[in-house]
Amino acid sequence: MELTQNKIKDIAMLARIGVTDAEIDEYQKDISSVLHYFEKLQELDTNDVEEIGHITGVTNVYRRDVVDAVDETEKEKIMDNVSDVHDGYIKVKNVL
């Protein structure tokens, strides 16, 4: 896809950047080159290519988020030492 100088001016206006005529010529070549590369990528047959989720192979190293059972006597001890409890939860002051 070849971009016209008018299209480059429109893009510059939408981006609120001022461009000189020399820059318009340069951007026209550069952006057209990138779009041409994307056209080549569109032609690739990727039907037999397996999808991948992560290209690095890094997996989640954090522990699972599991709620452990709490001994009721421990819970009562904690609640006895709290100044404000509401419906079984510890009420704290607003942070923000």
Q: How far is CA 40 from CA 33, 78, 96, in A?
A: 11, 65, 52
Q: Report whether 2 contacts 33 (CB < 8 A).
A: no
Percent of the chain with pLDDT over 90: 50
Going from N- to C-terminal start, the domains of the chain cover 5-43
**pLDDT for residue 7 is more than 90:** yes
DSSP string, 65-86: --PPP--HHHHHHHHHT-S-EE
Structure tokens at 51: 């999808």
**pLDDT for residue 1 is more than 80:** no
pTM: 0.48
86 phi/psi in degrees, rounded to 5? -135, 115
pLDDT tens-place string over residues 8-49: 999 999 999 999 999 999 999 999 999 999 999 999 998 998
Q: How far is CA 91 from CA 3, 4, 71, 84, 86, in A?
A: 61, 63, 20, 5, 6
